[in-house]
Chains A and B, each alone.
Chain A
């Protein structure tokens, strides 16, 4: 067992974990933050995307021990004071989801994407979504949701 400490959505957590525990399982099963999803479990679908030390990463492809000392934001940390984050609001306004399974990962990726490219073209958005799969929407409204958030000039 190894002891890990990390900050998730502003709260510090310390736990003893097996080194082979994946970060996504730590977040979901140990911390109970089930908004981060496991879609493919093979680094392809992006449903498990979180923000770790400022970078969007697929946390099914990391061990919890590797996040020792890290600062993490998950989908649960996006809204503040009952106000949806502008990207979440964008998904709401543009009907950017159907079943919602891919949505947390899409939003966590979109945050990083817009931070690096605040005024993207549609083509850039579509390319930027390369690491996230959606089985429902056909992506059109996801693209619109991100355009909507970009228009509002999303805060980081």
Chain B
């Protein structure tokens, strides 16, 4: 499959990339790992006239400690994240979810920034950044802004990023002590995309769930927080019964999607089951 013609740019700095994006605007696309964009270009579902490759913009690839949390550059690959000792110690749930994305080759190329910007309804890391209450930083040649994850994702393949903006960083705030996390997904057998994926974080102190955060992906048109389920468990003891009650609410407010892989009813069922499994595992790792 041959994509339509485009002009190619390989900037080596962020500001150079932003200037190019401003110049070519709506007819330009940035390419990160290319593992969502290039397949779309090959099918001619995307036909940018200008392709701005961020592959050489080294300043966007890093994982560093930041104010008790972590700052991850948008161009950091899945492999760099899953193999990072910093991620494994501070946010094991992120390492766990990342290692379940696609396959070795895709993880060698795909980036966290590309996954966020693409906003595929079945992407894995969207659920995790929602549960971690990450901030997503972006910038154009003129201005920078920062946005909480729950406001960043708007709809299927739609975020608040503007045509002239580049996503630069994903900032993970420090987690409270005694927090356990887990990511559980029912994966598509061929692509490993999440039919349903649940990221859960539970903070247990004094035998009670003090704080619960749940991100759901795959189920609806876009990843979202399961606030009803969070509230149902907060202030409660982490008993099997309380967890099950909370998990039953994980699908509240989700407009379940139907496609050839799974019906809406099946996704609703999977959401409850995987929310329970993710919560149980998070609880066992907490405290």
| Residue positions of A touching B, CB distance < 8 A | 2, 18-20, 22, 41-44, 46, 49, 55-58, 61-63, 65-66, 68, 109, 112-113, 116, 128, 130-132
Contact = CB atoms under 8 A, between A and B. Distances in A.
Contacts of A19: 5-8, 51
A66 B39 contact: no
Interface residues of B, number: 30
B115 to A, nearest CB: 15
8 contacts: A18-B5, A19-B7, A22-B2, A41-B42, A43-B106, A55-B79, A55-B108, A66-B55
Contacts of B102: 130-131
Interface of B: 1-8, 10, 31, 34-35, 38-39, 42, 51, 53, 55, 79, 83, 102-106, 108-109, 190-192
Given A18-B5, A63-B8, A66-B34, A130 B53 contact: no
Nearest to B53: A66
Contacts of A43: 35, 38-39, 106
Contacts of B39: 42-43, 61
A20 B104 contact: no
B106 A56 contact: no
B103 A131 contact: yes
B34 A109 contact: no
B83 to A, nearest CB: 8
Contact of A2 (B8, B42, B104, B109): B8
